[in-house]
Amino acid sequence: MDMTQIIVNVSGLLLIVFVAWFFWGPKKGGYKATFTPSGYQEAEIIVKGGYTPHIVVVKKGKPVRFQFIRKEENSCSEMVVFPEFNKSAALPVGEKVTVEFLPKESGEYSFQCQMGMYRGKVVVQD
C-alpha cells in the first residue's frame, strides 16, 4: 500500500466517523422557551422534515404552550404525540396548533409523530 492509498483510507475513515457523530452523536443545548405575561412558557415549532427546534428547554412547575406549524404534506407529520404528558394533537397543514401541558418533574421527555420517525425532546429544568 503506498502513501496515497493510506491517505485516502484514513480520510474516508475520518469522514465516516464525522457523519456518524453529526447524525447520531449527543445533542446539547436547545431552544429556551420564552415566558409570556400570562405565565406560559412558549415555543413555536415548525414541522418540516422533523421538528425545528427539536429540543426545547423549559422550567419545572410552569405551564408550557407549544405552537406547532406544519409546513409539509408528509403523512408522518399529521400528528404530534407527548406520551409522558398524555397529550396528542392533529397537525393540519398551514395551521397553528397549540399543545399545552404542565411539567411537574425535571427530566427529559420525548415528543414524536405517530410513527416515531420525527422526534423531539422537552428538557425540564429546576
Strand partners, 113: 80
Report the relative pairing of strands 55-59 and 31-32 from DSSP bridges. Answer: parallel
Compute the distance between CA of residue 94 and CA of residue 74 in angstroms, rounded to an integer: 13
Give pLDDT tens digits for 30-76: 899 999 999 999 999 999 999 999 999 999 999 999 999 999 999 98
Instruction: Indicate the burial class of 67 (C-beta count within 10 angstroms; 0-12, 13-18, 19 or more).
Output: middle
Judge whether 112 and 120 are in contact, CB under 8 Å: yes
Q: Calculate the average pLDDT of the chain.
A: 91
Instruction: Determine the pLDDT at residue 21.
Output: 67
> Which of helix, strand or coil describes residue 115?
coil
Give pLDDT tens digits for 2-36: 899 888 888 888 888 777 666 666 555 689 999 99
Instruction: Determine the pLDDT at residue 28.
Output: 58
Which residue in the block uniquely carries the three cell numbers 410552569? 62
Instruction: Determine the pLDDT at residue 124.
Output: 96
> Which of helix, strand or coil describes residue 29?
coil
Helix runs in the chain, H state only: 3-24
Give pLDDT tens digits for 98-123: 999 999 999 999 999 999 999 999 99
Instruction: Determine the pLDDT at residue 29.
Output: 66
Share of the chain above pLDDT 90, in %: 75
